[in-house]
Amino acid sequence: MKVLGIVGSARHDGNTACLVKKVLEGAKSVGLDTKLLYISDYQIEPCRACMKCKDPEFSIECVQEDGMRIFYDEIKDTKLLVIGSPIYFQQISGQTKMFLDRLFCYVLQPTPEKRFPKGVKYILAFTCGGAPSSTVNGVAEYFRSRLSDSFGMENVGILTGTAGRPVAKDEALLEQAFLKGKDLSKISCTLP
């Protein structure tokens, strides 16, 4: 079973990447395969709201053949996701929001084969500038509910770090992230 990490920050060695990588490290330590993708490494256009994805005759996810293709293909190939976003102006980052919008192709689909794959479980990882606050918790809840309610995924953990510490030096948080990654092995045993 593969665990796919998706990072919505351009900083490969930033706080969010550090947190997501630690979850993947935990998963790898118990024998799971891992893969890490940074949204900003790919040329991805915003959703055009053309609604072509809702056309029953249209068979691929999106009319825009761009960098989202690798994410659509990778998501189909796993049941375990770790999605990380920094907090930007009290929201998920622009990269993360664009990624979310491009998953719209899976919404409002009458046939199961065009919907988001079933049985996907996910961990969320957020990092912010100040101490994690009720605002950050609100963003986390917003993103969790969009992923769970719109795509039927099940959340199995939320991690929150701060650049103030920073994450690479926050041993308690890194330990928590590592253990969350290890736990994915138990979760993977319950997957169909």
Ligand X SMILES: Cc1cc2nc3c(=O)[nH]c(=O)nc-3n(C[C@H](O)[C@H](O)[C@H](O)COP(=O)(O)O)c2cc1C
Residue 118 and residue 113: Cα distance in Å, rounded?
A: 10
- Shortest reach from residue 8's CB to ligand X, in Å: 8
Phi, psi for 95 (deg, rounded to 5) = -60, -45
Identify the burial level of 57 via C-beta atoms within 10 angstroms of its C-beta, where 0-12 means exposed, 13-18 middle and 19 or more buried. Answer: exposed
Give 34 or 162: the residue with its C-beta nearer to ligand X. 162
* By CB under 6 A, residue 138 contacts ligand X: no
Residue 101 and residue 84: Cα distance in Å, rounded?
A: 16
> Closest by alpha carbon to 123, among 20, 12, 2?
20
Q: Which neighbouring-strand residues pair with 84? A: 7, 125
Residue 68 and residue 9: Cα distance in Å, rounded?
A: 16
* By CB under 6 A, residue 40 contacts ligand X: no
Residue 4 and residue 81: Cα distance in Å, rounded?
A: 5
With contacts defined by CB under 6 A, name the span among 45-53, 63-71, 85-93, 181-189 that binds ligand X: 85-93
* By CB under 6 A, residue 127 contacts ligand X: yes
> Closest by alpha carbon to 3, among 19, 22, 39, 27?
27
Per CB under 6 A, the list member of 119, 129, 138, 142 interacting with ligand X is 129
* By CB under 6 A, residue 128 contacts ligand X: yes
Give 160 or 188: the residue with its C-beta nearer to ligand X. 160
* By CB under 6 A, residue 89 contacts ligand X: yes
Considering only residues 7 through 26, tell me which ones interact with ligand X, judged by CB under 6 A. 9, 11, 14-17
With contacts defined by CB under 6 A, name the span among 46-54, 110-118, 121-129, 184-192 that binds ligand X: 121-129
Phi, psi for 55 (deg, rounded to 5) = -70, 120
- Shortest reach from residue 155's CB to ligand X, in Å: 20
* By CB under 6 A, residue 83 contacts ligand X: no
Give 113 or 171: the residue with its C-beta nearer to ligand X. 171
Give 132 or 157: the residue with its C-beta nearer to ligand X. 132
Binding residues for ligand X (CB under 6 A) = 9, 11, 14-17, 86-90, 127-130, 163
